[in-house]
Amino acid sequence: MTSKIRTVLFDLDGTLADTAPDLAQALNTLLVDEGKQAQPYETIRPEVSHGATALIKLGFNVGPGDAGFDRLRERFLALYSADLCKHTKPFAGIEPLLKSLQQKNINWGIVTNKPAFLTDPLVAGLGLDPAPACVVSGDTVPNRKPHPEPMLLACTQAGSQPHECLYVGDAERDIIAGRHAGMKTLVALFGYISNDEKPQNWGADGMIRAPLEILDWLKNDV
């Protein structure tokens, strides 16, 4: 039996790649530079999927519109972009998964809210083989996840219809975006999910604890 899925799309941070170590290092460097206490890695990790704004909020308790936020965010991004692939690696199982997908004539791509000036060098640094059929960043189109627009562009670039795509992510916005685009969705439980989140309530088609479980799910999608 053959899967109906022709393209598997991934969120980047917390699904395809374990970016938390480098993001945590950038935040803690900024905190120390600003005369504050570094945060434990375990505190930072669950916030990584929510981007720079969430990390600045965690570290400094300021958000967009607050005094100093723009300066802190700009400095954080500069620190991160200078060392964005020092400790970052694909999650265990991703590389054999991509090889297996290729053998099944299923291509793959990335849809992330991370801006392109960070996404592009990070993806290049990971050196994944086979290469992605599409990479849609947070500023590629006017709307970001949870809006379906970036998902639909990824489908077009990958050469598949939405119902032929599976989207895998570790945040509720990922599942909402995939569902609204007409895709199947899986929650990556190995990603950056905090203890107070309830992924079982996000409405995904399934949940996986390791990347290679995607292959098991595809066997049943016939």
Q: Could you say which of 11, 18, 22, 174 is catalytic? A: 11
> In three state form, how does the secondary structure of the chain look?
CCCCCCEEEECCECCCEECHHHHHHHHHHHHHHCCCCCCCHHHHHHHHHHHHHHHHHHHHCCCCCCCCHHHHHHHHHHHHHHCCCCCCEECCCHHHHHHHHHHCCCEEEEECCCCHHHHHHHHHHHCCCCCCCEEECCCCCCCCCCCCHHHHHHHHHHCCCHHHEEEEECCHHHHHHHHHHCCEEEEECCCCCCCCCCHHHCCCCEEECCCCHHHHHHHHCC
- Based on the residue annotation, tell me whether 11 is a catalytic residue of this protein: yes
State how far the Cα of 25 lies from the Cα of 79, in Å rounded to an integer. Answer: 9
- Based on the residue annotation, tell me whether 13 is a catalytic residue of this protein: yes
Catalytic residues: 11, 13
